[in-house]
Chains A and B, each alone.
Chain A
Amino acid sequence: MVRKIDKDKARFDKIIRGRIKKDLKKYITGREMIGRKGRNIVTIPVPQIELPRFHYGNNEQQGVGQGEGEQGQPLEGEGGKGAAGDSPGQHALEVEVTLEEMAQILGEELELPRIEPRGKSRIMAASGRYSGIRKVGPESLRHFKRTYREALKRQISMGTYDPDDPIIVPIRDDTRYRSWTERQNPDNNAVIIYMMDVSGSMGREQKDVVRLEAFWIDTWLRSQYKNIERRFIVHDAAAKEVDEKTFFHLRESGGTKISSALELCTSMIEEKFPPLEWNIYPFHFSDGDNWSGRDTEKCIDLLNDTLLPVCNVFCYGQVKSAYGSGQFKRDLDKVFKEDERVITSDIPDRDAIMDSIKDFLGKGK
């Protein structure tokens, strides 16, 4: 029998997934899903919908607590985030899970398909398996049991075997060695190349959005591939490779030449990640304000000629900055409308992260 509560729960889930009652979607809290706490554990808030009511705003947050402490001392056991508890009920329930569970939850929540590794015939890795036996080989691979069995067979057939005094002496011809057969396996290596526009118009909030998005992309792709390499490229008018920390914190000023990043990405792939061995995922984030139409054309040529043939998919996320959203996404959409290898997504704010991840990874590429 279906319990009453299951119906209500199903209804709630549908609202959360935005299938029904879309006007409630903006009241969903705890959708942000921030990962933190140690290396492998993250906390996720359980989603809640808080209906609007007439209630006080947060101007002048205060409350009463109980415990030790001097005046001016921050309260213990609270995160650095604002909005921390003045009244119960505003707290989103937070659950600790491991990254693996996390990826699973993410997959379920967003209904992400499992990724099909690109063209099986192309990315193959030969791996050996010891599954056979042969007569020659190094001593270290000698198969003890088989060798003695051969010796026994020989002695029985020669009539030299005496069950009462079962001494078996192998000779050279009896020795058997393990041998391997080679198998072609689809390879499990993937490289994610994050590229970000760090020109003046990309502020802290925009970088936070990119950071969160990158975290989720990592989490999902890690659950799909055995080995993940990540590379980071920042660019304004020129591009350079940086480490992860710099990537998320660097702030440059100046113009935007997206082609510079794509060029560097191309050469990086050529040098280090031969497409026959790697699944390649370039992600590019920008506010879309490219320097000039000519540079955009150059980008499109680069994509068409060099990048797209070697990548699993090329993802472009356009973050909305204080100066609005630029033209680049529209230009890409125009050219690659029919092309499944290019995915673009708008990320106006934090709330849109989940949707855009679904855009990027929802195709199972």
Chain B
Amino acid sequence: MSIESEIRRIQVEVEGYAREYGLDFFETIFEILEFDELNEVAAYGGFPTRYPHWRFGMEYNQLTKGYAYGLQKIYEMVINNDPCYAYLLKCNHLVDQKIVIAHVYGHCDFFKNNAWFSKTDRKMMDNMANHGTRIRKFCEQYGQERVEDFVDYCLTLDNLIDPHAPFIERATAEDRFSPQGGVTKLKAKRYMDRYINPADKILEERQRHAQAAARKSKFPSESQRDVLQFLLNYAPLQRWQQEVLSIIREEAYYFTPQAQTKIMNEGWASYWHSTIMTERILRDSEVVDYADHHSGTLGTRPGQLNPYKIGIELFRDIEDRWNKGRFGKEWEECDDLYEKQTWDKHLGLGREKIFEVRKVYNDVTFIDTFMTPEFMEAQKLFVYKYNPRTGQNEIASRDTDQVKQSILFSLTNFGQPYIYVHDGNFQNRGELLLEHRWTGLELQMNHAGDTLRSLLALWQRPVHIATYLGGKRVILSYNGKELKTTEIDAERKEKKEEEKAEQKS
């Protein structure tokens, strides 16, 4: 039997089991590739038809070298699309293929059902091909160098999007046209007026209106997190540049949920490959190979969290807790250690619960809700810190609060700074001011400066970012010639604004 038909046979079998367990997925198409083909596909992020760019060459170079020197090997690749595409490595052992196929069905189920993926483009395979065609056309028309440079500029900004944007319902037209100017006064006889419409309330409302008006005259009226959208709308771009930018933005949004759910997604897929393998399809002769592969996937290394490991353990922990009824008020309030240890209410709600969890949570809420101190202790999690004296990372603490906080911090906004468009007409000179919201860490200033250069290439007027340096509020500016850092006295500025608002009212 050829490998293809053998794999096909396994696929049908595994798919049957997956449905039996209640997994729900788009039709899944498996492609079997040689290692260099798989590396190529992987370098393109799973989309073989993507636009030309050197960074895919870089990825490919790494994957090939890594494979050639035996450091790493991609077993599989799954694409969130309807139908789902999954790429398998031809030279894999048949046991590996079984594991991988089972793993793939876990991912497919997750893509289809997790809420954070609900707004992603399920025809991305076609769409990416269109993007590729368009950018190739631009390359022919305007020169590869020029187009690639512009793509580079866009890429340096592609983390400046709003991951929650797909879920936000924007203000409706009605809201926008609601009466603003006048103060609402209730009808009252003259002598009653100052009781029914007290003067201080009226004043307050007037001020509120004035502020709203001031806000309206600002551009953008509210700080906007989707910097790319703002640039698309207002930067003086040529038609093709606009298209390139919108392509980069679209792709950034497409990949966002995968970054938002890395731990859950891998955990879920690992949970299912392990379940299907051990309960259904594993043959006696394959146990050792399976154990070897599985432990390799879930292995931990000191300085890193393995998302596969954390994810699968957390899903199993949830399943166990809901099976035994270890949740809710009664459980929380119990402080008898022995009772807690032997707690088992035989509820059997585990499976149901984890299916629910995979539907509505993302990594941040998943960790925040379900990672218990007991779990962190059992998993031997710790926080490490860099010790400048020894030049090494050292275990700093095993305190569960700190561990959780540290994980959550690294996951929140993917461990990246929050950056908003604050003013599109800064200093009334059409300059662009971004704002970095303080969350405790400073920006890497060299890179921030270079990013401003890219931003200027798009905005074509001087650009600024308000951020923090050495505990002080500063504005980093680039005017096309030089980078400049100016300190701003935040307090004074705020006061000025307050005064202005008061004067107006």
Interface residues of A (CB under 8 A from B): 3-5, 7-13, 15, 20-21, 24, 46-49, 51-78, 80-82, 84-88, 93, 95-97
The A-contacting residues of B in range 300-316, CB under 8 angstroms, are 300-306, 309-310
Closest 10 CB pairs of A and B: A8-B57, A12-B57, A52-B450, A9-B57, A57-B444, A52-B447, A61-B386, A75-B302, A74-B392, A11-B54
- A81 and B397 alpha carbons, distance in the complex (Å): 21
Contact between B380 and A66, CB atoms less than 8 A apart: yes
Contact between A7 and B52, CB atoms less than 8 A apart: yes
Is B100's CB within 8 Å of the partner chain A? no
Across the interface, B382 reaches (CB within 8 A) one of A48, A65, A95, namely: A65
Most chain-A CB neighbours within 10 Å: which of B48, B384, B416, B450?
B384
CB-CB under 8 A from B390, the residues of chain A are 74
The A-contacting residues of B in range 372-412, CB under 8 angstroms, are 379-388, 390-398, 403, 406-407, 410
CB-CB under 8 A from B72, the residues of chain A are 93
Closest to A92 in B: B62
- Shortest beta-carbon distance from B57 to chain A in Å: 3
Contact between B444 and A75, CB atoms less than 8 A apart: no
CB-CB under 8 A from A15, the residues of chain B are 54
Query: In the complex where A54-B160, A55-B416 touch, is A63 in contact with B383 (Cβ < 8 A)?
Result: yes
Query: In the complex where A64-B406, A80-B391 touch, is A5 in contact with B444 (Cβ < 8 A)?
Result: no
- Partner-contacting stretch, out of B63-71, B207-215, B264-272: B63-71
CB-CB under 8 A from A73, the residues of chain B are 394-395
Say what secondary structure dominates the interface of chain B: mixed
- Shortest beta-carbon distance from A67 to chain B in Å: 5
CB-CB under 8 A from B395, the residues of chain A are 65, 69-75
- A365 and B21 alpha carbons, distance in the complex (Å): 71
CB-CB under 8 A from A82, the residues of chain B are 386, 388, 391
Contact between A55 and B444, CB atoms less than 8 A apart: yes
CB-CB under 8 A from B332, the residues of chain A are none
Size of the B side of the interface (Cβ < 8 Å), in residues, is 78
Contact between B441 and A59, CB atoms less than 8 A apart: yes
- Partner-contacting stretch, out of B88-96, B149-157, B179-187, B489-497: B149-157
Query: In the complex where A15-B54, A62-B383, A64-B384 touch, is A9 in contact with B61 (Cβ < 8 A)?
Result: yes
Query: In the complex where A53-B447, A66-B309, A93-B66 touch, is A5 in contact with B56 (Cβ < 8 A)?
Result: yes
CB-CB under 8 A from A7, the residues of chain B are 52, 57
Would you mind naming 6 contact pairs between A and B with Cβ atoms under 8 Å apart?
Answer: A8-B53, A61-B386, A62-B385, A62-B396, A65-B301, A66-B300
Contact between A52 and B446, CB atoms less than 8 A apart: yes
Contact between A75 and B406, CB atoms less than 8 A apart: no
Contact between A78 and B61, CB atoms less than 8 A apart: no
Contact between B417 and A64, CB atoms less than 8 A apart: no
CB-CB under 8 A from A5, the residues of chain B are 40, 43-44, 56-57, 60
CB-CB under 8 A from A74, the residues of chain B are 387, 390, 392-395
